[in-house]
Amino acid sequence: MIRLRQVKVDILKDTKEEILKKVTRQLNINKSDIKDLKIIKKSLDARKKDQLFFVYELDISTTNDEKIVNEIKSKDVFISNDKPYVFEKTGNKELNNRPIIVGSGPAGLFCAYLLAENNYKPIIIERGEKIEDRIKTVEKFWNTNELNEESNVSFGEGGAGTFSDGKLNTLIKDKEKRGHKAFQIFVENGANEEILYEQKPHIGTDNLRKIVKNIRNKIISMGGEILYNTKLTDIEIENNKVKAIKVNNNRIIKTDILVLAIGHSARDTFKMLYEKGLTIKNKPFAVGVRVAHKQSIINESQYKKFAKYLPPASYKLTYQTKARRGVYSFCMCPGGYVVNASSEKNRLVVNGMSNYKRETPIANSAIVVTISENDYGTNPLAGIKYQEQLEERAYIIGKGQIPIQLYKDFKEEKKTTSINEESIAIKGHYTLSDLNCLLPKYISDSIKEAMPFFGTKIKDFDGDDTVMLGLESRTSSPVRIVRDENYISNIMGIYPCGEGAGYAGGITSSAIDGIKVAEAIAKVYKEVK
C-alpha cells in the first residue's frame, strides 16, 4: 500500500471524485491504476480564513506500488508499513480466581473486553446501574433534583464519559495501535467508521449509550460477567497480596487480580484504599466554571464565511496569568448542554454534554485554572477535601441548583438578576447567583484576567452576555494510585487503571490504559480454565 499525505481538498469540493483527482495528479497515475483507497486521517486546515481545506492522509493500493513511490520521491509518498495491534499472552502463572475489575467506565470496559476476548473471564463490579436504568435515574435527577448517590452522571455503566460529548481525541502517541484497537471496538459495536480517521472524532452521548450496551453484551458473550449495584467496600490483603474483596459490606468475592478502574469521583473508595495501605499521592488538577456562548459566535470566528458548510466548531484556548497560573478551556462541547453532574448529596458540580449531531444553538466549555498542593496541602487526600469544600459552597450558593451569572456581573462582582433563557442549554435546575462568592479569589481573578485575552482569539468570547456556570471541579482525578512498571500497586495483584487512578484524561486515554493493564495481566497469568 502507498501512504499518501497532504492531499488537500477544498471543503466545497469534498467528494470522492475530487479526492481521486488529487490522488492521480499527486501520484502521476490513472484512475484505473487504483485498486483500493482508504482514508487514514482527515483534518481541517482553517489557518487561512478565505479558503479552507480538508487535508487527507490515504492508503492506496495500485498496480505497482513500489515503482510509483520510487518515481515520485517525496516525503509525503512512501510504502505504508503499519502493523496491526497484537495482544500478547505470554504469562504462565495459574489463576485460581477470576480477575475482578472495579468500574465500567472506558478503562474498565476496555480492560474487560481484551481480557474476555482472550479467555480470562473477568468480572466487572459496578456500583451504579446498567445504562438503561441509569439514563432514567439521571433524567429524574435533572427533572426533580432527587440524587441517587450510587448511580448518576459520574457513576454507572459507561462511566462519566457516557454523559459527555463522547470526544475521542487524545494527545497520546499510539505506536502500538492500542487507540486504533479501541476505536475498532467502538466501530464494531455501533460507532460510525469516521472515528477511525477524523481529526477530532466524537461519538455523542446519545450514540455512546447504545455502544456501551453493545460492548457489555459482547463482554458477556465472550465469558465475562457484570455485577451492577455492586460497590467495592473493602479489600482483604494477606502477605501484601490481594486475597478477596468485599462488596456492599456483605459479600466476599475471592480474586488474585483486582483492577481499580474506579473513575475520578469515587472519593469514598479512594479513602478506603488509602486506609488499606495503598500508596496514593495527590496530583495537580484544575477548577473553574463553564462558559456558554451562541454556537454561531464560535462558528463565525473559526470558519468565517464557510461556517454554513461545516459542522459546529470547537476551540481550544490557553493563557498564563501574571501570577504564573495556567487558565485554559477544557471539554469543549459544541451544540451541547451544561449538565448538573453532582454525585454526592449537598455538593454540586457541572459538566458538559453533546449529542452526536451537536444540535443545540449553544456552545459550552470549562474555563479552568490550574491548582496544586500549594493551594490545598500535601496530604494525599487534600485535593479531594478541597473539591468537596468548593462543591459544598456551590450547593449552598445555588440553593441546590446550578449557580449561573453573566460575565458582565462577574467582573463587577454583583449577582445576576435576569438572563435570556435562549442563551443557555442546561440539563438540571439553575439559579441566578454571584460566582465570586463561590470561587477562591485567585481563581476568579485568574479567569477575569484570561477572558479578555480569549476575546482576542474568539470575538465576543468575553462579551457581557456570556453565561458562566459553576462549579467545574472534576477536570481530572485529584490523586494518583502509584503503580510500578508492571502496572501493579504496592499491594501485589492490584492494578490501578484509568483516569481515576491518575493515568488518563478522557475516553480514549482511559481505554488505552485499560488495554495496557489487560496486557500486563496477560504477561503474568494464564487464561482462566
pLDDT value for 171: 74
Q: Answer whether residue 1 shows pLDDT above 90.
A: yes
pLDDT (0 to 100) of residue 462: 98
Q: Residues 191-204: pLDDT tens digits? A: 999 999 999 999 99
pLDDT of residue 14: 95
pLDDT of residue 49: 85
Q: At what angle do helices 131-144 and 205-221 cross, to 10 degrees?
A: 150
Asked whether the beta carbons of 457 and 280 are under 8 A apart, the reply is: no
For residue 165, pLDDT beyond 90: no
For the segment 338-376, what is each residue's pLDDT rounded down to a tens digit?
Answer: 999 999 999 999 999 999 999 999 999 999 999 999 999
| Tens of pLDDT, residues 422-464 | 999 999 999 999 999 999 999 999 999 999 999 999 999 999 9
Q: What's the confidence (pLDDT) of residue 81?
A: 86
What DSSP string describes 440-503? -HHHHHHHHHHHHHHHHHSTTTT-TT-EEEEEE--SS-SEEE---TTS--SSBTEEE-TTTTTS
Does residue 400 carry a pLDDT above 90? yes
Which of 163-172, 206-215, 501-510 is predicted least confidently?
163-172
Across the chain, mean pLDDT equals 96
CA distance 243 to 235: 8
pLDDT digits (tens, 9 = 90+) for 404-414: 999 999 999 99
Check pLDDT > 90 for residue 21: yes
DSSP code of 526? P
In this prediction, residues 149-157 reach a mean pLDDT of: 97
Contact between 355 and 206 under an 8 Å Cβ cutoff? The reply is yes
CA 436 to chain centroid: 28
Amino acid (1-letter code) at residue 513: D
User: What is the mean pLDDT of the segment spanning 373-386?
Assistant: 96
pLDDT value of position 263:
96
DSSP-assigned letters across all residues of 317-366: -EEE-TTS-EEEEEEEETT-EEEE---STT---EEEE--TT--SSEEEEE
Q: How far apart are the first and last CA of the chain?
A: 41
Write the pLDDT tens digit of every residue in 37-52.
999 999 999 988 889 9
Whether the predicted pLDDT of 505 surpasses 80: yes
Residues 6+ apart with CB under 8 A from 466: 291, 292, 293, 406, 407, 451, 460
261-305 residue pLDDT tens: 999 999 999 999 999 999 999 999 999 999 999 999 999 999 999
pLDDT level of residue 175 (50, 70, 90 thresholds): confident
* Band of pLDDT at residue 173, cut at 50, 70 and 90: confident
- Phi first, then psi, for residue 283 (nearest 5°) are -145, 155
In this structure, what C-alpha cell is assigned to residue 43?
A: 483534518
pLDDT of residue 359: 96
* pLDDT of amino acid 216: 98
Q: What is the pLDDT of residue 432?
A: 98
Least confident of 84-88, 102-106, 164-168, 177-181: 164-168
Residue 174 pLDDT grade (very low, low, confident, very high; cuts 50, 70, 90): confident
The pLDDT score that the predictor gives to residue 169 is 84
